[in-house]
Chains A and B, each alone.
Chain A
Amino acid sequence: GIQVEQSPPDLILQEGANSTLRCNFSDSVNNLQWFHQNPWGQLINLFYIPSGTKQNGRLSATTVATERYSLLYISSSQTTDSGVYFCAALSATYSGGGADGLTFGKGTHLIIQP
């Protein structure tokens, strides 16, 4: 199945700094999503971005499908941005029986210090 790798695994920044999180995937995708998991476990949808570029406030994301990677940018970080960020992908060439689910990376643990 598709492999999803995220980097870096951990990132510690000062408030106000910018950051870039990377997601590499091993196959062409129908779905590529970025999530922020809060301390209570809730996965918050950030972007649905199988290709192209999107922006939402201080966050933006770019997926280069032909090169099989996606980037999540966080500008002017705030302490509330702390948490784990997951990238998840759905293969476009899945050949198993039935539907497939999202394959998640191991996440990037982001800590924003005041």
Chain B
Amino acid sequence: ETGVTQSPTHLIKTRGQQVTLRCSSQSGHNTVSWYQQALGQGPQFIFQYYREEENGRGNFPPRFSGLQFPNYSSELNVNALELDDSALYLCASSLAGGGEQYFGPGTRLTVT
């Protein structure tokens, strides 16, 4: 059984740029959720994708967007990067319906 993977591991961007983060879900899981974890805080829910559509969103602005592909992998895109976007971005996969979520190793984004 393949676990959740994310790429890249680390990323440094400049304020105003755009970034794309990638996630491959665990084998057999059809739902992907993205979270942002600022330093010293718990992760915060960004959005969830199921059947290639966004089906739930936390309190994040529209410049945070995503995609899900037919193989259930997913991308998180952030436009017009701000310094406060510096964080660890975590992807989790699960079966639809609120089941147990399994997390990837994360992508650490630094915005300068």
Give chain A's interface residues, CB within 8 Å of chain B: 30-31, 33, 35, 40-43, 45, 48, 86, 88, 90, 96-107
Contact = CB atoms under 8 A, between A and B. Distances in A.
A5 B108 CA distance: 26
Interface stretch (B16-24, B36-44, B65-73, B77-85): B36-44
A76 to B, nearest CB: 26
B45 A101 contact: yes
B94 to A, nearest CB: 9
Contacts of A103: 45
Contacts, number: 67
Interface string B34-57: 010100011111111010001111
A41 B108 contact: yes
A86 B103 contact: no
Given A41-B37, A99-B48, A31 B43 contact: no
A45 B100 contact: yes
Contacts of A99: 48, 50, 55-56, 98
23 contacts: A31-B98, A31-B101, A35-B103, A45-B100, A45-B102, A48-B99, A86-B42, A86-B43, A90-B98, A97-B56, A98-B57, A101-B33, A101-B45, A101-B56, A102-B35, A102-B43, A103-B45, A104-B42, A104-B44, A105-B42, A106-B41, A106-B42, A107-B42
Contact of A102 (B45, B55, B88, B108): B45
A100 B47 CA distance: 8
Interface of B: 33, 35, 37, 41-48, 50, 54-58, 88, 90, 92, 98-103, 105-106, 108
B66 to A, nearest CB: 13
Contacts of B50: 99
Contacts of B100: 31, 33, 45, 48
A43 B33 contact: no
A88 to B, nearest CB: 8
B108 A101 contact: no
Contacts of B47: 101
